[in-house]
Amino acid sequence: MEMGEDKLWRVLEFYSGIGGMRYSLMKAGVNAEVVEAFDINDTANDVYEQNFGHRPHQGNIQTLSAADLDSYDAEVWLLSPPCQPYTRQGLQKGSGDARASSFLKILQLIPQTSRPPLMLFVENVVGFETSDTHEKMISMLREISFNTQEFILSPLQFGVPYSRPRYFCLAKRKPLSFRKAQVNSYLGAPGPVLWSDENVVTSQGVELNGYWDKLIESCRPIEDFLDLKNCVSDAEESKEGKRPFNNPLKQYYVPSALIERWGSAMDIVFPESRRCCCFTKSYFRYVKGTGSLLATVPGMVKDRISSLQDLSLRYFTPREVANLHSFPEDFKFPPHVSLRQRYALLGNSLSVGVVAQLLCYLFADETL
């Protein structure tokens, strides 16, 4: 055995939320342990603690010092900072938004640490890549000798019928380098670079006719991600003509008044569909642009439907959103977390299916 072969990578998880990064690390199967997680949100930390048996460090990441960071002796930092500064709803103020400052602060601390990390992984929304925070991040990483690779990827590219394109930056401190060195690049002139198992796909490739259609065709159907336990009782009850009374899914049916008011703006999918829209943290509170609704009538009847009211539309349950995020089956919310909070936490989280693949790639060929 080579020296150090059995040593674990020590990982810090910043903005840990409900632990999407940690699940991704587990799914990636890399020899790593999260030595500390950081989040300011009490409820998110309750969920994290319930699932991982460890309560994240509760507080503002902005207040961490270089000495604090050194004390963890970690080689890898995973970061999913707040995305509001870069979204349209968030007014795109970029680094001028107070919510961006803790992220920039933490990057600024890297050169002041006595043991800077060897690898970084950053997740954010599409739009981040054109922000001034991005510009600052890339120039800081360059200055302190990191190779970076950047990707915009969606679960649709990994067989999951879910559109959630996200920006990712992978960084390795020299002399560490990436396996696919040809994509060592910065987003910009050639446009976003996308990545798949075998191939590097450039944005031009993605613009080609039929790329997304073919991808969607190859995705698994939505029904594979539904909460079968509840759906079985749904079907049984409907046979008895009782639906939606005493139905565990009752609270998820969309009220008629909402369908009347917002029907035309709703993204409606069927169990046999192979695509649904990104669930945001406002899903269940607002219908427009926050995620898809599920038509629960059997597929073959679909063509004969004359009104949206006949579709028995319902929201995806939090468990189903978790399934589309490739969260493991044993992921659970503590009972005191309300339905709205569950959607908000899941909406802020990430696709474990996508991030696990990227982490595999980040750690590839590296041993301590």
Considering the complex, what minimum distance in angstroms separates the CB of residue 359 from ligand SAH? 13
- Under the phi-then-psi rule, with left for phi > 0, alpha for psi from -120 to 50, and beta for the rest, what region is 148? beta
Q: Which is nearer to ligand SAH, 123 or 237 (CB)?
A: 123
Binding site for ligand SAH (CB under 6 A): 15-21, 38-41, 44, 60-62, 80, 82, 102, 348-350
Contact of 193 with 203, CB cutoff 8 Å? yes
Q: Is 179 helix (H, G, I), strand (E, B) or coil?
A: coil
Pairwise CA distance, residues 113 & 90, whole Å: 32
Nearer to ligand SAH, 15 or 186 (CB): 15
What radius of gyration do the chain's Cα atoms show?
Answer: 22
The CB-of-316 to ligand SAH minimum distance in angstroms stands at 17
CA distance 233 to 244: 11
Tell me whether residue 60 or residue 112 sits nearer to ligand SAH (CB atom).
60
Kindly state the smallest distance separating residue 368's Cβ from ligand SAH, in Å. Answer: 25
Instruction: Give per-residue burial for 256-269: e unless 16+ CB within 10 Å, then b.
Output: eeebeeebeebbbb
Nearer to ligand SAH, 17 or 291 (CB): 17
For the bound state, the minimum distance from the C-beta of residue 101 to ligand SAH, rounded and expressed in Å, comes to 8
Pick 60 or 139: Cβ nearer ligand SAH: 60
Report the residue number whose CB is nearest to ligand SAH.
17
User: Is residue 83 annotated as a catalytic residue, yes or no?
Assistant: yes
Identify the active-site residue in 83, 169, 276, 278: 83
Min CB(250)–ligand SAH separation in Å: 28
The strand pair at 268-269 and 32-39 is best described as: unpaired
Cβ atoms of 51 and 331 within 8 Å: the answer is: yes
Q: What are φ and ψ of residue 119, in 5° steps? A: -140, 145
Residues annotated as part of the active site: 83
